[in-house]
């Protein structure tokens, strides 16, 4: 009865092909296709192979055999699906955590597989030839793929094949030997194919893992390089900031040094209005002390005092602004206004050195965008240099011309033209080098700083020797905003505005 229940009289081989189909679906497609294959093959088995044949019912004595088929199908389905999900996990790089993998592996422990194999062997040996139990070894191979390398899987495969053949030999001589041989051959083929597919899958997973590890290494390297690059950028930014601060400090020092040279001039410039205040004060006292006080004259004298007081305050304001260590501040500035301010500071120095000053400033010069104090520093530096060039040895005439105008290319050009000692063409480029000086007490920073200031305003500063003597220093700044109308009147000689 038991032997009959396990299918002693049924045609066995094709129904295990159904089982094989389930396994293949699980292996190649995963859980859902395997479940679908199971859902199709179970009724197919009941209809085609379980008595009564041709009906979906199963006779009571065949229920164990039918259940054995269902369980085998579900087992193959679960194991195949698990293999696939393991491969996908590796491909997605999610199996990084070795302990997690260990737990997963213990799920299909080698001992379980061994016990399963022994169970199959006993069942196969004890059941008649017609029941192709050895096809279940496929499940053992699938388990082995989970925890053994290729060599181990092959050993398991050969072991299962050997057990299949041993069962064939040991099975009591009931039933058809032909069918037994066919079942065993089919099972051997199923074991072989499963091993082959398992190993292929294993090597695919291994190469995926290798590729992922390599990629991980490259990503780590890239991250390291990126961090280093960012650190370098931050350091460079810090160095740039420090350089900027050092430059600003140097520019400030140069400004203070230039003003130091102008001390006599500045003192005179402040003294003049103060003398005026005192004179006007005395005069107004006299007007008021008269027998008949002349109030009108006294009022005019007080007005002069107020005006002179403002003049002195203006001079001090300009000096304070120049000395101030203020950061760069761009605004719309009138270049002519800046020239006049600097001339006011240097007027006494010019007179003291017998320099005759001429100005040719363009009317309605368009404004430029710039830092007023820095531009003052440039012009001051050029004028002081010109005075020194004209008062040194070898200078005869002392004529200074300061001009401004448009260059017709949307720029404003300022020229400081002197009749001093001039310079040779060979030293024209070196003039702007830091620390280049021909003066005993010179710093050689004035022109270097001036050029940097003009370039930071988007302009250019250059020098040309004059014929027969002297030098002209020019700088050009871009006009702030719209293209300037070309009809503006420029009083300066056109040559003075030429670009080199
Ligand atoms: P410093 O005035 O301290 O020497 P600068 O950078 O202002 O530093 O000038 C550098 C050099 O350029 C001067 O020493 C001088 O030789 C030359 N130089 C500057 N201006 C003139 C000028 N107007 N005429 C002739 N040479 C000049």
Token digits of residue 20: 């094989």
> Which of 352 and 499 is assigned the larger pLDDT?
352
Would the CB of 430 count as within 6 Å of ligand 1? no
Task: Report the mean per-residue pLDDT for the chain.
Answer: 81
The Cα–Cα gap between 437 and 447 comes to: 10
Which of 62-76, 118-132, 211-225 is modeled with the greatest confidence?
211-225
**How confident is the model over 41-70, as a mean pLDDT?**
81
Q: Which of 9-18, 183-192, 256-265, 317-326 has the lowest mean pLDDT?
A: 9-18
Which of 162-171, 244-253, 475-484 is modeled with the greatest confidence?
162-171
Residue 228 in this model has a pLDDT that exceeds 90: yes
Q: Could you write out the three-class secondary structure of the chain?
A: CHHHHCCCCCCCHHHHHHHHHHHHHHHHHCHHHHHHHHHHHHHHHHHHCCCCCCCCCCCHHHHHHHHHHHHHHHHHHHHHHHHHHHHHHHHCCCCCCHHHHHHHHHHCCHHHHHHHHHHHHHHHHHCCCCCCHHHHHHHHHHHHHHHCCHHHHHHHHHHHHHHHHHHHHHCCCCCCHHHHHHHHHHHHHHHHHHHHHHHHHHHHHHHHHHHHHHHHHHHHHHHHHHHHHHHHHHHHHHHHHHHHHHHHHHHHHHHHHHHHHCHHHHHHHHHHHHHHHHHHHHHHHHHHHCCCCCHHHHHHHHHHHHHHHHHHHHHHHHHHHHHCCCCCCCEEECHHHHHHHHHHHHHHHHHHCCCEEEEEECCCCCCEEECHHHHHHHHHHHHHHHHHHHHCCCCCCCEEEEEEEECCCCEEEEEEEECCCCCCHHHCCHHHCCCCCCCCCCCCCHHHHHHHHHHHCCCEEEEEECCCCCEEEEEEEEECCCCCCCCCCCCCCHHHHCCC
**How confident is the model over 105-126, as a mean pLDDT?**
75
| Phi-psi domain of 10 (left: phi exceeds 0; alpha: psi -120 through 50; beta: other) | beta
- In this predicted model, what pLDDT tens digit does every residue of 441-467 receive, in sequence order? 788 888 988 998 899 899 999 999 998
Q: What is the pLDDT of residue 454?
A: 93
Tell me, in angstroms, the distance from the centre of ligand 1 to residue 444's CA.
7
Q: Which residues contact 403 (CB under 8 A, 6 or more apart)?
A: 359, 360, 361, 414, 415, 417, 492, 493, 496, 497
Contact 25, 76 (CB under 8 A): no
Side-chain half-sphere exposure of 61, counting CA atoms within 13 A: 11
Nearest to 340 by CA among 385, 365, 376, 386: 376
- In this predicted model, what pLDDT tens digit does every residue of 355-395 receive, in sequence order? 999 999 999 899 999 988 889 989 999 999 999 999 877 66
Q: What is the pLDDT of residue 202?
A: 85
Of 261, 350, 380, 385, the one to substitute when testing ligand 1's pocket (max ligand atoms within 8 A of C-beta) is 385
The Cα–Cα gap between 338 and 491 comes to: 18
Q: What is the pLDDT of residue 326?
A: 65
Residue 96 in this model has a pLDDT that exceeds 70: no
Q: Which atom of ligand 1 is nearest to the CA of 257?
A: 3
- In this predicted model, what pLDDT tens digit does every residue of 338-347 receive, in sequence order? 999 899 888 8
> Which of 56 and 175 is assigned the larger pLDDT?
56
* Closest Cα to atom 13 of ligand 1: 437
The structure tokens 């388990």 sit at 143
Would the CB of 423 count as within 6 Å of ligand 1? yes
Would the CB of 147 count as within 6 Å of ligand 1? no
Strand 399-406 relative to strand 356-361: parallel, antiparallel, unpaired? parallel
Nearest to 276 by CA among 308, 243, 229: 308
Tell me, in angstroms, the distance from the centre of ligand 1 to residue 438's CA.
7
Nearest to 363 by CA among 256, 454, 487, 455: 487
The rounded percent of the chain whose pLDDT value lies above 90 is 33
Paired residues of 398 in beta bridges? none
**How confident is the model over 427-446, as a mean pLDDT?**
84
> Which of 286 and 442 is assigned the larger pLDDT?
286
Tell me, in angstroms, the distance from the centre of ligand 1 to residue 497's CA.
21
With bands split at pLDDT 50, 70 and 90, how would you rate the model's confidence at 80?
Answer: low
| Polymer length of the chain | 500
The Cα–Cα gap between 275 and 273 comes to: 5
Gyration radius (Cα) of the chain, Å: 52
Q: What is the pLDDT of residue 478?
A: 94
**Burial, 470: exposed, middle or buried (Cβ in 10 Å; 0-12, 13-18, 19+)?**
buried
Residue 104 in this model has a pLDDT that exceeds 70: no
Of 262, 437, 440, 467, the one to substitute when testing ligand 1's pocket (max ligand atoms within 8 A of C-beta) is 437
Tell me, in angstroms, the distance from the centre of ligand 1 to residue 388's CA.
8
Would the CB of 446 count as within 6 Å of ligand 1? yes
The Cα–Cα gap between 367 and 479 comes to: 6
Residue 494 in this model has a pLDDT that exceeds 70: no
Q: Which of 75-89, 141-155, 301-315 has the lowest mean pLDDT?
A: 75-89
With bands split at pLDDT 50, 70 and 90, how would you rate the model's confidence at 6?
Answer: very low
Q: What is the pLDDT of residue 81?
A: 63
With bands split at pLDDT 50, 70 and 90, how would you rate the model's confidence at 477?
Answer: very high
With bands split at pLDDT 50, 70 and 90, how would you rate the model's confidence at 484?
Answer: very low
Q: Is the pTM of this model over 0.75?
A: no
Would the CB of 253 count as within 6 Å of ligand 1? no
> Which of 424 and 487 is assigned the larger pLDDT?
424
Q: Which residues contact 288 (CB under 8 A, 6 or more apart)?
A: 295, 298
Tell me, in angstroms, the distance from the centre of ligand 1 to residue 495's CA.
23
Contact 191, 141 (CB under 8 A): yes
Residue 410 in this model has a pLDDT that exceeds 50: yes
> Which of 77 and 83 is assigned the larger pLDDT?
77
């Amino acid at each position: 009865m038991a032997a009959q229940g396990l299918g002693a009289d049924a045609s066995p081989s094709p129904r295990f092909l159904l089982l094989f189909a389930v396994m293949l679906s699980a292996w190649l497609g995963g859980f859902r296709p395997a479940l679908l294959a199971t859902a199709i093959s179970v009724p197919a088995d009941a209809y085609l192979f379980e008595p009564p044949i041709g009906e979906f019912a199963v006779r009571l004595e065949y229920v164990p055999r039918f259940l054995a088929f269902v369980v085998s199908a579900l087992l193959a389905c679960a194991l195949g699906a698990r293999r696939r999900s393991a491969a996908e996990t590796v491909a997605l790089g999610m199996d990084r955590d070795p302990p997690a993998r260990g737990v997963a592996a213990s799920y299909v422990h080698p001992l379980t597989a061994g016990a399963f194999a022994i169970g199959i062997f006993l069942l196969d040996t004890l059941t008649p030839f017609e029941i192709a139990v050895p096809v279940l070894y496929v499940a053992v191979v699938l388990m082995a793929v989970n925890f053994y390398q290729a060599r181990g899987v092959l050993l398991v495969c050969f072991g299962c094949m050997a057990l299949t053949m041993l069962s064939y030999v040991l099975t009591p001589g009931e039933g058809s030997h032909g069918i037994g041989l066919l079942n065993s051959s089919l099972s051997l083929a199923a074991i072989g194919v499963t091993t082959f597919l398992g190993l292929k899958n294993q090597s695919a997973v291994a190469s995926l893992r290798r590729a992922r590890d390599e990629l991980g290494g490259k990503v780590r390297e890239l991250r390291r390089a990126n961090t280093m690059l960012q650190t370098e950028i931050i350091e460079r930014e810090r160095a740039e900031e420090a350089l900027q601060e050092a430059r600003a400090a140097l520019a400030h020092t140069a400004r203070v040094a230039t003003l130091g040279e102008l001390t006599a001039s500045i003192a005179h410039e402040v003294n003049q209005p103060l003398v005026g205040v005192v004179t006007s004060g005395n005069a107004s006292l006299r007007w008021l002390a008269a027998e008949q006080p002349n109030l009108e004259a006294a009022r005019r004298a007080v007005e002069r005092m107020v005006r002179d007081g403002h003049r002195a305050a203006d001079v001090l304001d300009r000096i304070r602004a120049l000395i101030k260590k203020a950061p760069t501040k761009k605004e719309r500035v009138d270049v002519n206004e800046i020239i006049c301010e600097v001339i006011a500071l240097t007027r006494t120095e010019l007179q003291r050195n017998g320099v005759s000053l001429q100005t040719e400033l363009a009317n309605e010069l368009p404004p430029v965008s710039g830092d007023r104090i820095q531009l003052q520093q440039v012009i001051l530096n050029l004028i002081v240099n010109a005075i020194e060039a004209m008062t040194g040895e070898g200078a005869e005439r002392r004529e200074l011309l300061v001009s401004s105008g448009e260059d017709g290319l949307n720029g404003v050009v300022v020229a400081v033209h002197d009749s001093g000692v001039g310079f040779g063409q060979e030293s024209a480029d070196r003039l702007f080098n830091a620390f280049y000086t021909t003066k005993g007490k010179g710093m050689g920073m004035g022109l270097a700083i001036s050029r940097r200031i003009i370039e930071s305003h988007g302009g250019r500063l250059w020098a040309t020797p004059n014929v027969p003597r002297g030098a002209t220093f020019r700088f050009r700044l871009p006009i702030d905003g719209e293209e300037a109308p070309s009809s503006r009147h420029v009083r300066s000689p056109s040559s003075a505005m030429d670009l080199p």
